Structure 1
């Protein structure tokens, strides 16, 4: 390979090694007040003050049960300018609901004695709830300290009937390899609606990437034996440096420790990650009237707990943003050093809607594996897992291998003889 002079770009700095965490913003945090005057996030009717408020069907509207007045919740991003000025962000900016976890009066958290999950309940509406992970009945006596009330909520758009149909279709396509017990016990109507806690973050970022790119100049094949040939490639190698600003809008980050820390040995809740994205631009200011019959899971991670993960995703987005800019290196670019400065970030917390079906499988070793099928409550994407009949799976695999061998081995023998 030849090594010509470096490609356009300033000399490489002494950057941080690839894979090391990007640096974070250093300025003191600033607060955006998103509170509505109600400590528990529950707004009364703006016309008559009644608390008999509910969501109107599957719409974004709320309706007063006393005076029948209808209104739509305040669009959070428009009300507080959360989609503006990303390029001017300096230091950390956070909304009221994204501050460190506190306690709340009427929105309490109950710990499930069945599976250990923590579920948020609005005690102004009910003193009883059902766990959305294992469907156990929850008792208010198991109350634990609550997380902060979120800034926004994205109400369900997909109905329960639609979610049941989607879950039934998903499971139906996988019944051949599913356990017989699962096929007999599966009931799509056991689906539960749940709001899961997330944070959105905007980022004003500068990235600097340094690596080597290759441009193919010649390809040729050489006879290296009686029946063998070797292909060689000649390429020019260039130093590649890219230094640029990047404005990131509404990156979604999990703020539940249990869902963020994936443990595939006991459950398949990692499927929740596959349901992104959500149309968070449409979220409204949090009002527990939107919760309806759905349960909610508390946020138990603060910004400092999720910032490293968010910054890592910033860096991934930076790499992807310049993909079209390096297409001239037809053999690719290998990044060797990466740097990122987060000049500023803006954080908000919200609830996102999920329809959830769970099934507990007792495995041969006595361990319980909980399988989940989940539906995005906004656009209906489905992801999940079902317990597998391993004997049937291995049987089909071995049969397929044997059939393939029966076909390919004679063909390979004939080719060898002909050569």
Structure 2
């Protein structure tokens, strides 16, 4: 029987709402939590509704931050001690690597289900919808399309067991902003051809140049921003870390109130960026959205518009923290005396897949040379 009852959260225990057991698992095929003792099935309440974040964005004022998105206390320890309510034992959880532990005496499952000082517990979790088998199929299909040029070691050593499910930390923002932009737009009024030298002609044009300004309000629902510094898209010469950004977006409206049992069997990565750290990224994303939406108002400028300046004024914003699901496959490629880490990522909700594959450089060079020879000969080159 499936219900929408919420888990009882008492003293570090996530308990079954029917029988009180702590032995709970998540089924990605059914999308529900299941009590292993009484077999009751349920889901947590919708995160936005629980937090009151389903209200009108257009009325937002200032900055609102949930408990899970609050500033991380850098001075606090990752190691948290919970007192088991089942037997009274004290159980230690290292929140840098895990948000659940099992009591070594009574076997009750204890969870960090409340916010602790080091900011390790999010407000919401978006459960996995794709199974491990489905993720493996997605990754194999992605690699198969690139197998001809792939390094032979990558093709030979693929191991489904190395596809792991990871919960990545994100800050999700609802934003009300004012966008102002200015630039120069050109409207072509004449096009003509002139001779340049003896053997060449050149097409030229005359255009009227106008000062262009645009100002409008922008309402954005669920802008999703990386809150792990390592995964936030910074350039690295040793790995394709930011590939996870290429499998967005997530269906964030389906996120539920955080419950550590959704994390069972998966790994998770801790948030280490605060709201202040991502505010610049949010502004840049708003600016990009604004320029995209603005294009529909610029049809008369046939030669385009060159933007020379602009600004984004955030009038109201609210943040919540969320774990979102990614299936990851990694492969180490030896490069000289070092290694390069390739990733293939699968959105654990939508199945969107992207990644990098190590290239067989000799085969690529050979094929490029043969293609060039074929073109120069005026014929076709077929590869089987």
TM range (shorter): 0.7 to 0.9
Partner of 2:366: 395
Could you tell me how far apart the structure 1 residues matched to 2:261 and 2:71 are? Answer: 24
Secondary structure of 1:407's match?
A: coil
Could you tell me how far apart the structure 2 residues matched to 1:328 and 1:120 are? Answer: 56
- Asked if 1:184 is matched to 2:156, the reply is yes
Tell me the CA shift for residue 261 of structure 1: 4.9
Partner of 1:212: 184
Superposed, 1:136-175 pairs within 5 Å as: 147-175=119-147
Could you tell me how far apart the structure 2 residues matched to 1:147 and 1:370 are? Answer: 29
- In structure 2, the CA distance between the partners of 1:125 and 1:231, relative to structure 1 (3 Å rule), is farther
1:273-292 residue CA offsets vs partner (Å, 9 max, x unmatched): 10100000100000011112
- In structure 2, the CA distance between the partners of 1:38 and 1:324, relative to structure 1 (3 Å rule), is farther
1:310-331 residue CA offsets vs partner (Å, 9 max, x unmatched): 1111111111121101112111
- In structure 2, the CA distance between the partners of 1:108 and 1:263, relative to structure 1 (3 Å rule), is farther
- Asked if 1:123 is matched to 2:94, the reply is no
Structure 2: gaps (5+ residues): 1-6, 83-91, 105-116, 380-384
Partner of 2:14: 43
Contact 1:196 1:351 in 2 (8 A): yes
- In structure 2, the CA distance between the partners of 1:345 and 1:39, relative to structure 1 (3 Å rule), is farther
- In structure 2, the CA distance between the partners of 1:285 and 1:62, relative to structure 1 (3 Å rule), is same
Equivalent of 1:79 in 25, 38, 50: 50
Tell me the CA shift for residue 109 of structure 1: 4.4
Contact 1:267 1:370 in 2 (8 A): yes
Equivalent of 1:288 in 260, 277, 280: 260
- In structure 2, the CA distance between the partners of 1:263 and 1:124, relative to structure 1 (3 Å rule), is farther
Tell me the CA shift for residue 398 of structure 1: 2.0
Could you tell me how far apart the structure 1 residues matched to 2:146 and 2:346 are? Answer: 16
Partner of 1:200: 172
Contact 1:121 1:295 in 2 (8 A): no
Tell me the CA shift for residue 122 of structure 1: 1.6
- In structure 2, the CA distance between the partners of 1:57 and 1:173, relative to structure 1 (3 Å rule), is closer
Tell me the CA shift for residue 192 of structure 1: 0.8
Partner of 1:136: none
| Larger CA deviation: 45-54 vs 290-299 | 45-54
1:369-412 residue CA offsets vs partner (Å, 9 max, x unmatched): 1111111100111111121111221121222223223339xxxx
What TM-score do the two structures reach when normalised by structure 2? 0.84
Contact 2:24 2:36 in 1 (8 A): yes
Could you tell me how far apart the structure 2 residues matched to 1:45 and 1:367 are? Answer: 49
Instruction: Give the alignment's Cα RMSD to 1 decimal.
Output: 2.3
- Asked if 1:278 is matched to 2:256, the reply is no
- In structure 2, the CA distance between the partners of 1:246 and 1:378, relative to structure 1 (3 Å rule), is same
Could you tell me how far apart the structure 2 residues matched to 1:217 and 1:90 are? Answer: 46
Partner of 2:339: 368
- In structure 2, the CA distance between the partners of 1:372 and 1:164, relative to structure 1 (3 Å rule), is same
Partner of 1:325: 297
Tell me the CA shift for residue 347 of structure 1: 0.4
User: How many positions carry a matched residue from both structures?
Assistant: 347
Partner of 1:377: 348
- In structure 2, the CA distance between the partners of 1:392 and 1:201, relative to structure 1 (3 Å rule), is same
Higher strand share: 2
1:155-199 residue CA offsets vs partner (Å, 9 max, x unmatched): 111111111111112122222222222222112332111111111
What TM-score do the two structures reach when normalised by structure 1? 0.77
- Asked if 1:94 is matched to 2:65, the reply is yes
Superposed, 1:9-20 pairs within 5 Å as: none
- Asked if 1:246 is matched to 2:218, the reply is yes
Could you tell me how far apart the structure 2 residues matched to 1:324 and 1:277 are? Answer: 23
Equivalent of 2:309 in 317, 321, 337: 337
Contact 2:233 2:241 in 1 (8 A): no
